[in-house]
């Protein structure tokens, strides 16, 4: 074979090998960096842009897609120790013409980290309202979605600021007095009995604890490589003290039953989505909301745990969209 041709193949092979080796090295040596690149890639692919909004010295970080239109804008509130990118799997299945906003909750990811007062449920509600007014999202009533801790905040927000909203969707929300104790609640009770709150199952510090947390939160058993588990832990460890502070605040006396105490004030159309196999917040909470909020729509998902957004993203998007359209159609009929 001609020597120049051999050189060409060697150069071509070397060129291809560089990105492949870089990927393998990142996967093995810097999994945390790879996870950040993964989120960046999916935001870009889905057409989401990241912005910051400042109000009275407080900084909010959020991603958005689209502009306000005929359909209501949708604001999405993530759960404890998560961030705005947890909604990417759901955003994938929502129409591109919808105006979507995913915000980092107080102290999380790119939003200002201040003091415990801001991490209580009431404190988070105040901050989210500050964010809404800062970006003028409430110029027109919008649809509010929240999951877990974010569901608790969304429910109390609906009670406090009904004129801001056209409707709300709560996904396995915390903050209720639930008839049946979940596996997670029982684990917490054991920790409290021994006065050892350093081993909170939702605040992992090793790959093994991360795997246990994923099993606790998900009915679907995801096969996560060890390197990715390590990367997930590496990303979280610098923030674990903060997560512990937030956790103790939201399970404290002031916040533990915030949604329960405010649900009678919810007047906007309400949807509740819950995984039947939820081991963190028991699905019996859905009956509490159904009996406490007039006209509440309940959607229970089979073979699904607490991480509804990750386990059933397509179904979640479909249910939210159906509910949103049904409410708009109902409003149109009333006007006509």
**143 is an active site residue:** no
Catalytic-labelled residue, pool 73, 148, 182, 307 = 148
**306 is an active site residue:** yes
Strand 165-171 and strand 270-275: pairing? parallel
- In the DSSP assignment, the letter for residue 336 is -
CB 53 within 8 A of CB 101: no
Between CA 53 and CA 287 the distance in angstroms is 38
Between CA 115 and CA 242 the distance in angstroms is 10
Catalytic-labelled residue, pool 85, 104, 164, 278 = 278
Element (H, E) at 105: none
- In the DSSP assignment, the letter for residue 301 is E
The angle that helices 121-134 and 149-160 make with each other, rounded to 10 degrees, is 70
Between CA 278 and CA 332 the distance in angstroms is 36
Other CB atoms within 10 Å distance of the CB of residue 59: 13
Q: Is 163 exposed, middle or buried (0-12, 13-18, 19+ CB in 10 A)?
A: exposed
- DSSP-assigned states of every residue in 32-77: HHHHHHHHHHHHHHHT-EEEEEEETTEEEEEEEES---SSPPEEEE
**257 is an active site residue:** no
**From residue 291, how far is each of 165, 271, 298, 311 by CA, in Å?**
21, 13, 11, 27
Catalytic-labelled residue, pool 78, 83, 108, 306 = 306
| Closest of 331, 313, 17 to residue 145, by C-alpha | 313
Between CA 43 and CA 40 the distance in angstroms is 5
Between CA 174 and CA 297 the distance in angstroms is 17
Active site positions, annotated: 148, 278, 306
């Amino acid at each position: 074979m001609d020597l120049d041709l051999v050189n060409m193949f060697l150069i071509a092979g070397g060129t291809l090998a560089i990105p492949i080796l870089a990927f393998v090295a990142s996967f093995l040596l810097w999994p945390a960096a790879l996870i950040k690149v993964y989120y960046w890639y999916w935001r870009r692919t889905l057409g989401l842009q990241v912005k910051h909004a400042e109000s009275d010295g407080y900084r909010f970080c959020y991603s958005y897609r689209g502009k306000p239109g005929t359909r209501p804008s949708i604001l999405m509130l993530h759960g404890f120790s998560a961030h705005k990118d947890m909604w990417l799997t759901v955003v994938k299945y929502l129409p591109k013409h919808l105006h979507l906003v995913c915000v980092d909750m107080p102290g999380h990811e790119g939003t200002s980290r201040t003091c415990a007062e801001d991490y209580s449920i009431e404190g988070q509600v105040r901050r989210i309202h500050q964010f809404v007014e800062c970006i003028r999202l409430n110029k027109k009533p919008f649809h509010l979605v929240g999951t877990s801790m974010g569901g608790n905040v969304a429910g109390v927000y609906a009670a406090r600021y009904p004129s801001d909203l056209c409707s709300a969707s709560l996904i396995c929300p915390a903050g209720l007095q639930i008839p049946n104790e979940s596996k997670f609640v029982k684990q917490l009770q054991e920790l409290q009995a021994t006065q050892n709150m350093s081993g909170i199952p939702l605040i992992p510090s090793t790959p093994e604890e991360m795997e246990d947390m994923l099993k606790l939160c998900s009915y679907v058993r995801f096969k996560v490589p060890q390197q990715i588990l390590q990367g997930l832990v590496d990303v979280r460890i610098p923030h674990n003290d903060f997560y512990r502070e937030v956790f103790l605040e939201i399970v404290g006396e002031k916040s533990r039953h915030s949604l329960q105490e405010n649900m009678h004030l919810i007047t906007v159309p309400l949807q509740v989505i819950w995984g039947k196999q939820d081991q963190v917040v028991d699905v019996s909470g859905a009956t509490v909301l159904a009996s406490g909020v007039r006209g509440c729509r309940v959607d229970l998902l089979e073979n699904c745990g607490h991480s509804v957004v990750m386990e059933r993203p397509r179904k979640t998007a479909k249910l939210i969209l159906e509910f949103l359209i049904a409410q708009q159609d109902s409003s149109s009929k009333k006007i006509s």
